[in-house]
């Protein structure tokens, strides 16, 4: 975590417990660092314009404009209006998913025949409610630290994660944004290593000189 600490002089540093949720408003230039404290722990990520919430993260725009199905250092996260919302400044993992979306109690009943009360969707619903936003505002999300390889014939599978304990990603807000996180509670596939663990979030002010 030393590299992440060197990049950020944290103004807000929190541990998001296993299966937990988190959200915050970030102003332009502020950075958000996500730290996978134990390794192989997916963090489901949504973001919205803080000034116009209906302009929100758009995965197809993000994929097309980055020319990649994966998010890593240098990637930009784009909105419905094709505005740059956030930029990935640093990434020690290099493998973040845009394909699989979030888990839900409903889909896990279909996939695994289990009845659940916790999921990334329920986390998103609860966290968005804090900002007076409805479940209908949930859209396709990025899954940081989650590995979803795809085959030439289009086959897709949620595979074992490649993130190690202490891996991190640093994102910079390029506009006022609301970031909403679910620390994935999935226990029936490798998204959270079959045993969800805590992650750390650090929000830092923009450097005084305005640089990255």
Helix (H, G, I), strand (E, B) or coil at 2: helix
At 11, the pLDDT band (50, 70, 90 cuts) reads: confident
| pLDDT confidence of residue 207 | 78
What is the percent of the chain where pLDDT is above 90?
90
Spell out the residues 6+ positions from residue 43 whose beta carbon is closer than 8 angstroms to its own: 34, 36, 143, 144, 145, 181, 182, 183, 184, 199
| pLDDT confidence of residue 9 | 53
Please give the backbone phi and psi of residue 200, each rounded to the nearest 5 degrees, phi first.
Answer: -120, 145
The Cα 196–Cα 112 span in angstroms is 17
pTM for this entry: 0.92
Q: What pLDDT digit, counting tens, does each position of 139-151 carry?
A: 999 999 999 998 9
- Domain extents in the chain: 2-204
**Over the chain, what is the mean pLDDT?**
93
| pLDDT confidence of residue 3 | 40
DSSP label at 17? P
| pLDDT for residue 112 is more than 80 | yes
Helix (H) / strand (E) containing 175 = none
* Weakest-pLDDT range from 4-13, 43-52, 67-76, 184-193: 4-13
Angle at the Cα of 43 from the Cα atoms of 7 and 57, rounded to 5 degrees? 85
| pLDDT confidence of residue 209 | 63
> How far apart are the two ends of the chain, measured CA to CA in Å?
18
Spell out the residues 6+ positions from residue 66 whose beta carbon is closer than 8 angstroms to its own: 75, 76
| pLDDT for residue 8 is more than 70 | no
The Cα 212–Cα 201 span in angstroms is 18
Structure tokens at 131: 């900002």
Please compute the mean of the pLDDT values over residues 107-127 and round it to a whole number.
97
Name the residue with tokens 């097309």: 64
């Amino acid at each position: 975590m030393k590299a992440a600490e060197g990049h950020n002089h944290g103004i807000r540093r929190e541990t998001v417990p296993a299966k937990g949720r988190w959200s915050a408003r970030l102003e332009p230039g502020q950075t958000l660092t996500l730290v996978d404290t134990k390794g192989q722990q997916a963090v489901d990520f949504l973001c919205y314009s803080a000034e116009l919430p209906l302009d929100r993260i758009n995965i197809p725009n993000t994929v097309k404009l980055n020319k990649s199905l994966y998010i890593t250092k240098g990637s930009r996260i784009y909105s419905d209006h094709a505005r740059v919302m956030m930029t990935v400044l640093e990434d020690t993992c290099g493998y973040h998913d845009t394909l699989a979306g979030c888990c839900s109690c409903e889909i896990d009943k279909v996939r695994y025949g289990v009845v659940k009360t916790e999921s990334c969707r329920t986390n998103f619903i609860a966290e968005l409610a804090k900002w007076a936003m409805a479940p209908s505002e949930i859209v396709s999300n990025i899954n940081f630290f989650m590995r979803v390889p795809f085959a030439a014939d289009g086959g897709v599978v949620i595979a074992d994660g490649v993130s190690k304990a202490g891996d991190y990603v640093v994102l910079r807000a390029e506009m006022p944004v609301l970031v909403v996180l679910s620390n994935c509670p999935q226990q029936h596939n490798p998204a959270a290593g079959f045993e969800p663990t805590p992650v750390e979030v650090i929000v830092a002010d923009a450097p005084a000189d305005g640089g990255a």
